[in-house]
């Protein structure tokens, strides 16, 4: 037992002893985990040095799109092992630059060899390497959600249902990717594995919470990935890293295959979805996961196979659009991206109409209240370690937000209301009230959608480009993405443009209406060249319509640039 005094505190107290010992154990576990990662990455490096993969073949494999790679593997023109080795080598290079891998999956080589030795094609994803977000359980690994105390948990003894599905389809899971502390952050930083950088500028963040995935994919280190999304966790990193991502309707894909520190609430549901370097990658993965052979593996998801007719339809659409939301004004670059796509779609024969979602600020505040639960979620999760820089403002204001909101009201009423609305829920009565409010709002939004006879919506995915890693909290709330988690509408993000010098010049005239927007204005200095995406949204269970819109925009804009 520890005894004596420390700064006037009696450290002979058993509670103090337990806390101190727990901190020591966690610190040791962090060191052991980092050493394990280094050791396993070195094993992959040694294996690659001993392989027969030539530089020419590696470059050839990495230059293929998903359709070309899928065909080459299924016609046996390429071996799964050499494809795996090509992406392993690129992933290792990427990791050294942006710190995106938490652990390589050593079983991958065995899975690739099984594909090569099989007399038949194992499935539509035969031999395709796939990266997985850290919170997807896989046998032999721990899931931490970026929280160090979870390193003291036992390793996972069985693959999650999602991983079983992927292996059943012939895929080769090969790396697990980084996440932010607690997952509830627009950055990607934790005390175990460190911060993940942006492939366009490693000093800036890849976004969160599927930030490791987006950084790896944005560097061509993975051709397929899977993330999860409860407030924008697929779409925000995709926006920041110039990649493609789709948040599905919450139970369209298997819903029990991710871990969270905040299980129990379903009013703002978690959804999983594909991530990739193109819309085609998302389509390949969605087709595979929505095939009858996979749907029958999970009795809790609706029996809705991939709807090819929605993807391939040539019918002209009526599409709503908006340039900003009432909470965080979109930057000039984010607004321009929507206008670029609007112009293209109109030229393609679609009808674009301005759409103002009803009571949007109310809906975003409602979603924020739900996610904050008791108002002390970060203190409950982050025990025996420090909050990382992007989470410190949220961590240290827990329990004080009502007081702080009143304190800053006269100076900044809008920021005061944001603070007040993440104070936390204090009773079951208040929780039921919020559940009813969500139900009523979803009906109100649906009526507004139907009154304008909309098929889909395009809008910003975030207010601005990425910021420097430790200042990510100040980029604002994820209002553009969180809104569609509350509604549980499928939403995809694709890159459209990059911040130009003209955008930066116009950003100097950006007029902040509250504190967060003042930070956004300052943080966007030096953002020229960073990617900017847009969001495509459709009604529940119409992911194929989102993908149709995304691929039309992607291929159309590429054609415009090459003509």
Q: Catalytic residue numbers?
A: 133, 209, 233
For residue 359, how far is the Cα from the chain centroid?
26
Note whether 531 and 522 are within 8 A (CB): no
Residue 69: other Cβ atoms inside 10 A: 24
Nearest CA-CA partner of 445 in 361, 360, 365, 364? 360
Closest CA to 168 of 302, 256, 283, 297: 297
Number of neighbouring beta carbons within 10 Å of residue 67: 13
For residue 276, which phi and psi values (nearest 5 degrees)?
A: -170, 180
- Tell whether 242 is in a known binding site: no
CB 494 within 8 A of CB 244: yes
The answer on whether 233 is annotated among ligand-binding residues is yes
List the structure tokens of 215.
């950084």
- C-alpha to C-alpha distances, 420 to 59, 155, 364, 434, 556, nearest whole angstrom: 53, 39, 13, 15, 44
Q: How far is CA 485 from the centre of its chain?
A: 12
User: What does the CA dihedral 158, 162, 168, 172 come to, rounded to 10 degrees?
Assistant: -90
Structure tokens at 526: 């030096």
Residue 205 marked in a binding site: no
Residue 48 assigned to a binding site: no
DSSP annotation string for 360-391: HHHHHHHHHHHHHTTS-HHHHH--SSPPPGGG
How many Cβ atoms sit within 10 Å of the Cβ of residue 458?
A: 24
Q: Do the annotations mark residue 231 as ligand-binding?
A: yes
Q: Is 209 annotated as a binding residue?
A: yes
Q: What's the start-to-end Cα distance of the chain, in Å? A: 75
How far apart are the C-alpha atoms of 3 and 14, rounded to whole Å? Answer: 10
- Burial class of residue 516, CB neighbours in 10 A (0-12, 13-18, 19+): buried
| CA distances from residue 172 to 84, 129, 215 in whole angstroms, order as listed | 8, 5, 19
Binding site, by residue number, is: 183, 209, 230-233
Output the known binding site for substrate: 183, 209, 230-233
């Amino acid at each position: 037992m520890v005894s004596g005094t420390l700064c006037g505190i009696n450290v002979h107290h058993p509670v103090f002893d337990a806390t101190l010992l727990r901190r020591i154990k966690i610190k040791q576990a962090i060191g052991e985990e980092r050493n394990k990662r280094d050791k396993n990455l070195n094993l992959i490096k040694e294996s690659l040095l001993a392989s027969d993969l030539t530089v020419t073949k590696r470059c050839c494999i990495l230059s293929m799109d998903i359709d070309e790679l899928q065909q080459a593997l299924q016609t046996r023109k390429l071996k799964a092992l050499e494809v795996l080795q090509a992406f392993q080598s690129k992933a290792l290079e990427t990791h050294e630059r942006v710190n995106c891998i938490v652990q390589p999956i050593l079983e991958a080589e065995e899975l690739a060899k099984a594909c090569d030795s099989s007399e038949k094609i194992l499935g539509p994803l035969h031999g395709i390497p796939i990266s997985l977000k850290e919170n997807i359980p896989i046998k032999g690994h721990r899931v931490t959600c970026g929280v160090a105390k979870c390193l003291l948990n036992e390793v996972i003894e069985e693959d999650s249902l999602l991983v079983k599905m992927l292996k059943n389809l012939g895929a080769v899971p090969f790396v697990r990717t980084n996440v932010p502390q607690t997952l509830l952050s627009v950055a990607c930083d934790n005390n175990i594995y460190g911060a993940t950088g942006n492939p366009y500028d490693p000093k800036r963040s890849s976004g969160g919470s599927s930030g490791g995935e987006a950084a790896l994919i944005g560097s061509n280190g993975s051709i397929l990935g899977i993330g999860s999304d409860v407030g924008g966790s697929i779409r925000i990193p995709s926006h920041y890293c110039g990649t493609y991502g789709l948040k599905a309707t919450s139970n369209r894909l298997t819903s029990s295959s991710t871990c969270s520190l905040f299980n129990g609430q379903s009013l703002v549901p978690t959804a999983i979805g594909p991530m990739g370097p193109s819309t085609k990658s998302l389509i390949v993965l969605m087709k595979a996961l929505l095939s009858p052979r996979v749907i029958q593996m999970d009795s809790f998801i609706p029996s809705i196979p991939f709807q090819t007719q929605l993807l391939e339809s040539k019918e002209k659409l009526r599409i709503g659009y908006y340039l900003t939301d009432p909470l965080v004004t979109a930057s000039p670059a984010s607004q321009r991206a929507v206008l670029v796509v609007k112009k293209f779609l109109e030229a393609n024969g679609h009808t674009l109409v301005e759409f103002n979602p009803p009571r949007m600020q109310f809906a975003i505040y409602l979603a924020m209240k739900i996610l904050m639960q008791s108002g002390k979620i970060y203190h409950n999760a982050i025990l025996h370690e420090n909050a990382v820089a992007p989470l410190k403002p949220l961590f240290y204001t827990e329990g004080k937000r009502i007081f702080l909101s009143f304190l800053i009201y006269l100076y900044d009423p809008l920021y005061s209301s944001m603070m007040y609305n993440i104070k936390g829920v204090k009773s079951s009565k208040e929780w039921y009230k919020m559940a009813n409010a969500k139900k009523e709002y979803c009906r109100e939004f649906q009526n507004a959608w139907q009154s304008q006879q909309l098929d889909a919506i395009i809008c910003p995915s975030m207010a601005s480009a990425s910021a420097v890693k430790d200042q990510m909290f100040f980029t604002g709330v994820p209002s553009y993405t969180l809104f569609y988690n509350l509604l549980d509408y499928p939403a995809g993000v694709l890159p459209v443009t990059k911040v130009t010098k003209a955008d930066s010049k116009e950003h100097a005239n950006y007029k902040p209406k509250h504190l967060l927007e003042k930070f956004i204005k300052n943080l966007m200095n030096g953002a020229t060249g960073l990617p900017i995406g847009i969001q495509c949204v459709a009604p529940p269970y119409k992911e194929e319509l989102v993908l149709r819109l995304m691929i039309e925009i992607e291929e159309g804009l590429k054609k415009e640039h090459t003509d």
